[in-house]
Amino acid sequence: MRQRVVQNVRNDHMAGTISPRQLAEAIGISESSLKRWSDDGLLAVERTAGGHRRIPLPEAVRFVRDAGLTVARPDLLGLTGAAGSTRQATARSGAADRLYELLADDRAAESIALVTSLYVDGASIGWICDVPIREALARAGELWEHNPSGVFVEHRATETCGRALAELRRLVPTPPPGAPVALGGAFERDVYHLPSAMVALVLSDAGFIDRDLGPATPVSATVAAVAHHNPEIVWQSFSVPPGSVRAVRAGVDRIVAAMGSASLVIGGRASAALPLASNVAVYRLESMTELAAFARGLVASDQVRTADR
Ligand code: B12
């Protein structure tokens, strides 16, 4: 059986962990079963200085997702939101509509709870970004044409989705020190911050240490960050059609020249129109789901190469 028990004796606080009792109550099983499973290596635990088991939150979530369990009391896991999640409430079909309705009503906590519940119930980060969040925001983006309050809804919805992404980040495992680095941001003059935040989260979930440079990142800043962090993946998000295609090409060439053997991935609503396809170092990807597959493939091929050495 795979050994999952982490026998870390720590004297400092155990932030970001929960007790076996909290997890047991959250998922409605007995604490003794849970302890048994942790002894059998099915669930990784850390130990306090006094020898008590503590479960890192991402590990608790992994266990729930892998075992297909239902979290009846998400509050016990410290998850935002009031109502208990049930698989029915977080059924994936119609999730975008439900999220849109919550966002349109400015019910931020419930919107965030819906997003985290989808993840805990087994949805991938890529799908959550590509389907419920993207589709709900696309609908929110249509409101302003018909109603002045649409702009307020659009701003609030974006803010809430940013918070939901931050909440998801607490639930995915942190890559170990020494993991490959990925960095990037939205291209110069591109104000959109969610796409780059999504890329960072997807790449973190795929095992990369992510460094999001955020919206409207000057090419010179990306080049400086590449020199500093020596990443294996660099990303650029293009949501806004560039003023000058020549400037984009020159900027991308500067980034590629600084990158060494790293891969540059680009995406975003405005990326299809960019004349970058001929650049062999550049991969244009459509979605967060595609990005996740690409990144996992890269990690896997790296492991194969390392094993071959
Ligand atoms: C939020 C928002 C804003 C916010 C942005 C806030 C912020 N700081 O991020 C604010 C209010 C500032 C704004 C302003 C404007 N906006 Co606006 N905005 C939106 C809205 C509602 C959501 C955008 C968003 O973040 N979506 C979530 C992201 C993650 O989805 P996505 O961009 O589709 O990205 C997906 C893929 O493209 C891909 N992807 C993206 N990047 C990358 C990168 C990589 C590497 C990879 C692999 C994949 C990838 O994966 C993502 C997930 O599936 C859209 C509606 C829409 N249809 O998108 C309008 C929208 C884009 N805006 C629009 C407009 C007109 C404007 C304004 C001109 C006026 C206005 N409505 O206020 C200004 C212009 C701003 C500027 N200077 O460029 C129009 C654009 C129309 C057009 N044909 O271009 C839209 C479509 C709304 C509409 N229906 O009219 N906006």
| pLDDT tens per residue, range 117-147 | 999 989 999 999 999 999 999 999 998 888 8
pLDDT at residue 269 greater than cutoff 90: yes
Tokens representing 3 are: 């050994």
| Average pLDDT estimate for 225-251 | 94
DSSP state of 129: I
pLDDT grade for 74, boundaries at 50, 70 and 90: confident
Predicted model pTM: 0.89
pLDDT recorded at residue 79: 76
Specify the DSSP element, H or E, that contains 32: helix 31-39
Q: Which residue has better confidence, 154 or 146? A: 154
Amino acid at position 16, single letter: G
As a whole number of angstroms, the distance between CA 176 and CA 193 comes to 26
- In this structure, are residues 264 and 281 in contact, taking their beta carbons and an 8 Å threshold? yes
Phi, psi of 218 (to 5 degrees): -60, 145
- Is there an atom of ligand 1 within 6 Å of 199 CB? yes
- Is there an atom of ligand 1 within 6 Å of 283 CB? no
- In this structure, are residues 290 and 203 in contact, taking their beta carbons and an 8 Å threshold? no
Q: Which residue has better confidence, 77 or 136? A: 136
What is the rounded average pLDDT for all residues in the chain?
Answer: 87
pLDDT at residue 291 greater than cutoff 60: yes
- Is there an atom of ligand 1 within 6 Å of 285 CB? yes
Q: Which residue has the tokens 């026998």?
A: 7
- In this structure, are residues 115 and 133 in contact, taking their beta carbons and an 8 Å threshold? yes
pLDDT at residue 57 greater than cutoff 80: yes
Q: Which residue has better confidence, 149 or 52? A: 52
Cα–Cα nearest to 256, from 241, 273, 274, 236: 236
pLDDT recorded at residue 305: 52
- Is there an atom of ligand 1 within 6 Å of 273 CB? no
Phi, psi of 214 (to 5 degrees): 80, -170
Q: Which residue has better confidence, 154 or 71? A: 154
- Is there an atom of ligand 1 within 6 Å of 288 CB? yes
Tokens representing 244 are: 């000058």
Specify the DSSP element, H or E, that contains 81: none
pLDDT at residue 50 greater than cutoff 80: yes
Q: How many whole angstroms from 275 Cα to the centroid of ligand 1?
A: 21
Torsion of CA 160, 166, 171, 175, to 10 degrees: 160
- Give the residue, out of 146, 154, 156, with the most ligand 1 atoms within 8 A of its beta carbon, to mutate for a pocket test: 154
pLDDT at residue 8 greater than cutoff 60: no
pLDDT grade for 309, boundaries at 50, 70 and 90: very low
Amino acid at position 307, single letter: A
pLDDT recorded at residue 9: 35
Cross-strand pairs, 214: 185
pLDDT recorded at residue 81: 52
- Is there an atom of ligand 1 within 6 Å of 111 CB? no
Q: Which atom of ligand 1 is nearest to the CA of 130?
A: 53
Sign of the CA dihedral with 146 first, then 152, 155, and 161 last? negative
Q: How many whole angstroms from 196 Cα to the centroid of ligand 1?
A: 12
pLDDT grade for 243, boundaries at 50, 70 and 90: confident
Q: Which atom of ligand 1 is nearest to the CA of 266?
A: 45
pLDDT recorded at residue 13: 41
Q: Which residue has the tokens 């309050």?
A: 149
Sign of the CA dihedral with 171 first, then 289, 99, and 237 last? positive
Cross-strand pairs, 183: 211, 234
pLDDT at residue 242 greater than cutoff 60: yes
State whether residue 105 is helix, strand or coil. Answer: coil
Tell me which residue has its CA closest to atom 39 in ligand 1: 268
| Average pLDDT estimate for 214-241 | 97
- Is there an atom of ligand 1 within 6 Å of 292 CB? no
Q: Could you report the per-residue pLDDT of 157-197, keeping only the tens digit for each?
A: 999 999 999 999 999 999 999 999 999 999 999 999 999 99
State whether residue 118 is helix, strand or coil. Answer: helix
As a whole number of angstroms, the distance between CA 150 and CA 166 comes to 24
**7 Cβ contact partners less than 8 Å away, ≥ 6 residues apart:** 47
Burial class (CB in 10 A: 0-12, 13-18, 19+), 198: buried
